[in-house]
Amino acid sequence: MLLVALSIGILAVLVSAILGPKKSSRTKLMAYESGNDPEGGGVGTGQRFPVHFYLVAMLFIIFDIETAFFFPLAVAYQKLIPFAFFEAITFVLLLLVGYYYVLKKRVLEWT
């Protein structure tokens, strides 16, 4: 499935590369900036962006691991109750402490 899907994409790109016109000029290949000469930007120019994106990505990693722990618990849940319930609650509470800290640190406020 994956191979077939990827080959569809590659095929489309190839066909377009063969059939499309190729008349490029310097102006045509300039990055878009409302008609001005582009300033900064570009791969490898070390462009800066807000640290918030890092924080969100880190939080995502933490909470996604939490989700990953939850999936096997959820699937085997009906065989493990009521013990699993208290385990899950403890885990969630521990995470909520961290979540509360993040809230109070105003990490999730984008200003």
Beta strands in 9-111 (DSSP E): none
Say whether residue 40 binds another protein (CB under 8 A). yes
Q: Which of 30, 90, 98, 101 binds another protein (CB under 8 A)?
A: 30
- How far is the C-alpha of 68 from the C-alpha of 63, rounded, in Å? 9
- Spatial neighbors of 47 by CB under 8 A, at least 6 apart, are 40, 41
Say if residue 32 is exposed, middle or buried (CB neighbours under 10 Å; 0-12, 13-18, 19+).
exposed
Site for another protein in 51-90 (CB under 8 A): 52-53, 56-57, 59-60, 63-64, 67, 70-71, 74-79, 81-82, 84-85, 88-89
Tokens of 73: 């618990």
Interface residue list for another protein (CB under 8 A) = 1-2, 4-6, 8-10, 12-13, 15-17, 19-24, 26, 28-33, 38, 40-43, 47, 49, 52-53, 56-57, 59-60, 63-64, 67, 70-71, 74-79, 81-82, 84-85, 88-89, 92, 96, 99, 103, 108-111
